Amino acid sequence: MDYERYDRVRAVTWNDEALDLLDQRVLPMQQARVICHDVGRVAQAIFDLVVRGAPAIGIAAAWGLVLASRQIQAKNGPEARVALADATNTLNAARPTAVNLAWALRRMNAVLANAGDDWRVMLANEAAAIEQEDLAANRHMGRLGAALIEPGSGVLTHCNTGSLATSGFGTALGVIRAGVAEGRVARVFAGETRPWLQGARLTVWELLQDGIPATLIADAAAAHLMSTGQVQWVIVGADRITANGDVANKIGTYALAIAARYHGVKFMVVAPSSTVDMHTATGAEIEIEQRNEAELLGYGGQRTVAEGVRAWNPVFDVTPAALIDAIVTERGVVLQPNAQRMADAWSGADA
């Protein structure tokens, strides 16, 4: 299957000297790049949403540690690991909910444990491996998820889970891409995703680049859309999946799952296995990131709400496993996830 035809966007690029990021804050009207020459700039770019999406954040953090390695002196990997502790902590603190960030940093530091004087080379090779493995995993997940979809189906997605959020192809959007390529997905709808409008600004733009027709809807129109019978699957990504199958994802995902269950629409979560956190028992234990209320009180630098009004701005919510029909990772598919099925799927894995 010619998946390359539907995968033309790249958000994170390493050029051997710096980390080159497509600035997702100004898409689609501008295609600007942010060039990061040091770890502090990478951490700030992650926090500011220049780069976003759990896999892309992890990849950016890995390259950030490579940049940090050029600013220290160490004879071997163990020495470097100690010297890079501050850089690791700075990156780790940039976005606390997305588990891929901490996972990538743990993996990078693990390489240093037994490295000799070639530790810088090993660190760079590990960052490259994280990026390359993500792309391969995404394409595999695309095939696995698409196989669950009946030909001619309509799908609804939320936020952005495509090439902009990963090394390429995407997670939930990768399933949609594969479904389009295989003739299984006939209609694609995307919610706008307030308050940052990732669906409106990013997802429909990304699909447009790949020649995939998509229809934008207001977030509040999702339940009505489901009631019309035009959608058979809701397909979303994840920032963290817990041991019982609960899923933390962009705010609004939980509401979509409730509406989908009521209307008999299937609900699929697609994420790399690095997003699965078997050390966190349930979604109730996940730290939900709270962002600045200004994100809700205006847009594009223009205040749209009366002075004196306050806002509550959680950026994620948790969808209970009971509302999820399938979790798709590169390791396979878990249907009707619960604690036992998750344990069976991850038995023996280094989760």
pLDDT of the chain, 351 residues: tens digit per residue: 666 677 888 999 999 999 999 999 999 999 999 999 999 999 999 999 999 888 899 999 999 999 999 999 999 999 999 999 999 999 999 987 767 899 999 999 999 998 999 999 999 999 999 999 999 999 999 999 999 999 999 999 999 999 999 999 999 999 999 999 999 999 999 999 999 899 999 999 999 998 999 999 999 999 999 999 999 999 999 989 999 999 999 999 999 999 999 999 999 999 999 889 999 999 999 999 899 999 999 987 899 999 999 999 999 999 999 999 999 999 999 999 999 999 999 986 654
C-alpha atoms less than 13 angstroms from C-alpha of 82 in its C-beta half-sphere: 6
pTM for the full predicted model? 0.88
Per DSSP, helices labelled H in the chain are: 39-47, 54-69, 77-83, 85-92, 99-112, 119-146, 172-181, 198, 204-209, 222-227, 253-263, 294-297, 339-345
Q: Which residue, 125, 160, 106, is CA-closest to 274?
A: 106
Question: What domains appear along the chain, each with residue ranges and CATH number?
Answer: 3-137 (1.20.120.420), 141-345 (3.40.50.10470)
Three-state DSSP class for 281? Answer: coil
pLDDT given at position 201:
94
Q: Which of 16, 20, 86, 239 is catalytic?
A: 239
What separation in angstroms does the CA of 32 have from each of 25, 77, 283?
A: 9, 36, 36
Distance in angstroms (rounded) separating the CA atoms of residues 344 and 153: 30
| Helix/strand/coil (H/E/C) assignment for every residue in 135-149 | HHHHHHHHHHHHCCC
pLDDT given at position 99:
79
pLDDT given at position 1:
61
C-alpha atoms less than 13 angstroms from C-alpha of 320 in its C-beta half-sphere: 4
Give 317's contacts (C-beta < 8 A, 6+ positions apart).
248, 249, 250, 251, 252, 253, 254, 255, 288
Asked about 23 being catalytic, the answer comes back as no
pLDDT given at position 351:
45
Distance in angstroms (rounded) separating the CA atoms of residues 255 and 262: 11
pLDDT given at position 2:
63
